[in-house]
Structure 1
Amino acid sequence: MKILDHYEQAPGQSFEGDAVKGVVGRVVIGKNDGADNFCMRIFTLSPGGNTPRHAHQWEHEIFIHEGKGKLLNDGQWAAIQRGSVIFIPGMEEHQLKNDSDQDLVFACLIPKGVAEL
């Protein structure tokens, strides 16, 4: 069993580039913890930040923990906020953007066998 008092206890990895801005990712539960089926990651998007626009074979599930922003959904931008729950099927293009003045924090679950970050 693993218990973190706060997700920020997990080491953060910053992402910056042409397609990604202001993103910190943390693996809070993963293969190093003995998780055989899923990986839980926590991402923080700073104000004005965004994940890359992308698609991949696996599904994933997202829970918005804090803040608000937008999600690219079927070519349209949908508002997301604290408490929003999102299911993204495999091969569906998606992107998250923080268009607010506060951090956007979300949990993201992915299956085993893919890169954890």
Structure 2
Amino acid sequence: MKVIQYTDVEPKELKVAGPGVTGRVVIGTADDDVNFCMRVIELQPGAQIPPHHHPWEHQQFYHSGTGYIVREGQKMPLGPGSVVYVAPDEEHHVANTGNEPLVLVCLIPKGIPEL
């Protein structure tokens, strides 16, 4: 069993994102025999993750802040309690539109680059 505070993990730049976006791998390959990687991602006010796609799914839960995700050209609003599933190869783009960090928990399959 692993029990931590997510803030105990040092934030690192998220490779697919621009400035102001960090991620923390809170459960991943460093943990024994897990099937998913759990990341906590923070977008600072005005920050965004530009449009991209890849061959794996995402499962996301938005904890705090406000913003949007682009799905098929439409901006879908996000806020605390929003849940998003991004299918493999589906283009997606997330932006923070609020005055506080947009914080989300993101699950990806084991074996994918964690950040």
TM range (shorter): over 0.9
- Post-superposition Cα deviations, 1:55-101, rounded to whole Å, max 9, x if no partner, equal 01011100001111010111111111000000000000001100111
Correspondence 1:21-100 to 2 at 5 A: 21-100=19-98
Structure 1: give runs of 5+ residues left out of the alignment: none
Runs of 4+ in 1 over 4 A off after TM superposition: none
Instruction: List runs of 5+ in structure 2 lacking aligned partners.
Output: none
Work out the CA distance in 1 between the residues paired with 2:51 and 2:82.
20
SS at match of 1:100: coil
1:35 Cα deviation after fit: 4.1
Total equivalences in the alignment: 115
> Which residue number corresponds to residue 8 of structure 2?
9
Preserved CA contact (<8 Å) 1:29 1:35: no
Identity, in percent, stands at: 43
Query: TM-score normalised to the size of structure 1?
Result: 0.92
SS in 1 for 2:30: helix
